[in-house]
Amino acid sequence: MDINFLVIEGNIGAGKTTLSTMISQKYNAKLILEQFSDNPFLPKFYKDPDKYSFPLEMSFMAERYNQLKKQVADQDLFKNFTVADYYFMKSLIFSKSTLQEDEYSLYRKFFDIIYQNIPKPSLYVYLHLSTERLLENISKRGRSYESEISADYLKRITDGYFNFFSQQCDFPVVAIKTDELDFVKNEDDYRKIERLIFEKSYSKGLTRVIP
């Protein structure tokens, strides 16, 4: 595919940042990483979701908009394309799972206004792992503020992604089942994903792939 803006995304613990970084290094791509670790509401949210979900989601939406709008628009002449480990609609998916109905209704109004100004990806790649594998990966990286993440929460996020994919046709989405792959330690597994991204063409909408 002719890729100018590539998005690598997935649920918490899917490996999106790792894969985005590997691709950026191999293909001389400009790398955009979500700066979630600096968000002061994140640890508070995991301890008390009801109290901190709305300020968390609003702050994430503002940060994602500012970063994507600026960095995707600012082309680097010395890079071949741009790759990001998140996309703006992530805000809508996570907020749907965390906010109360009235909060989500207000949040959606802000989102719809902003979304029309966000650059659309040439290709959106979703790394699809089972809830069990996600929990294993989360446990391995040992972030204290992620220790409260539940299987039910992860499942709601996964369902939210696929609900969004079923409704959007602005850009091509390829969902790659990666439960049986280890693209960090196994070169053959990495190459499988690499070929799916760079050697295939996809129509707008969702395509599911099991390598």
pLDDT tens sequence across 188-206: 999 999 999 999 999 999 9
Average pLDDT over every residue of 129-158 = 91
Please pick, among 38, 85, 159, 179, the residue that the annotation labels catalytic: 85
Nearest Cα to 135, choosing from 147, 125, 117?
147
CB 175 within 8 A of CB 206: yes
Q: What is the rounded CA–CA span in Å between residue 49 and residue 210?
A: 34
Query: What's the whole-number average pLDDT of the chain?
Result: 92
CATH code of the domain in which 182 resides: 3.40.50.300
- Spatial CA neighbour of 109 closest among 125, 86, 91: 91
- pLDDT tens per residue across span 34-52: 877 678 888 888 889 889 9
- Could you give the number of structural domains in the chain? 1
Distance CA 25, CA 124 (A): 19
What does the alpha-carbon distance between residue 197 and residue 114 come to, in Å, rounded to a whole number? 28
For 174, the domain range is 5-209
User: pLDDT value at position 2?
Assistant: 87
Torsion angles phi and psi, residue 101, rounded to 5: -55, -45
The C-alpha atoms of residue 7 and residue 46 are separated, in whole angstroms, by: 26
Whether 152 is catalytic: no
List pLDDT tens digits, range 71-126.
887 878 899 999 999 999 899 998 998 899 999 999 999 999 998 888 899 999 99
